Amino acid sequence: MASVKQFQVTFDCAEPERVARFWCEVLGYVVPPPPEGFASWDEYNRSLPPEQRGASFSCSDPTGVGPRLYFQRVPEGKVVKNRVHLDVRVATGLVGEERVAALEAECARLVPLGAVRVQLLTADEENESCLVMQDVEGNEFCLD
């Protein structure tokens, strides 16, 4: 049997630090300390050649349980729906109106951070309700 490997989730984006800080707020993640010898990430960035400044950023689960998120600058913008997305589990175990209320409450917290509410998908015979959203660069994710 193969052992479980650690993994990170990588986002292509235009503004890595902005998107990373959004996801820190969504998930309760933290920005790691700057590289040794630098007092801040700004100081580190200023040490890089201009074309590399702000090219990437990361954040991680402070408990060490969730995957590291890595954000890398790419020249092209997003043009189609994500093939992979994150489900942010905010209503696990809840059903019906109680579940929808939890989803809507989290949506209300995230919209002022720059998230966009897309669509509430209501429960059917197979799935509970979930709320489709977009992050600060238009990447889809679900509140589940």
Token pair 């402070």 in the structure block, residue: 62
- Residue 79 inside a domain? The answer is no
Sheet (strand 56-59) strand order? 8-13, 68-73, 56-59
- Residue 42 inside a domain? The answer is yes
Domain finish residue from 73, 94, 126: 73
Q: What is the pLDDT of residue 78?
A: 83
Q: What is the pLDDT of residue 82?
A: 83
**DSSP code, position 60:** B
- Residue 80 inside a domain? The answer is no
Question: Residues 96-121: pLDDT tens digits?
Answer: 999 999 999 999 999 999 999 999 99
Angle at 99 between CA 107 and CA 136, to 5 degrees: 20
Instruction: Please count the structural domains in the chain.
Output: 2
Question: Residues 75-85: pLDDT tens digits?
Answer: 888 888 888 89
**SS3 category, 37:** coil
Token pair 């969730």 in the structure block, residue: 66
- Residue 139 inside a domain? The answer is yes
Domain finish residue from 31, 49, 73: 73
Q: What is the pLDDT of residue 70?
A: 96
N residues, the chain: 144
User: Can you tell me the distance from the alpha carbon of 117 to that of 6, in angstroms, rounded to the nearest whole number?
Assistant: 31
Domain finish residue from 52, 73, 94: 73
Residue span of the structural domain in which 116 resides = 86-143
| Residues 69 and 90 both lie in one domain | no
| Residues 65 and 106 both lie in one domain | no
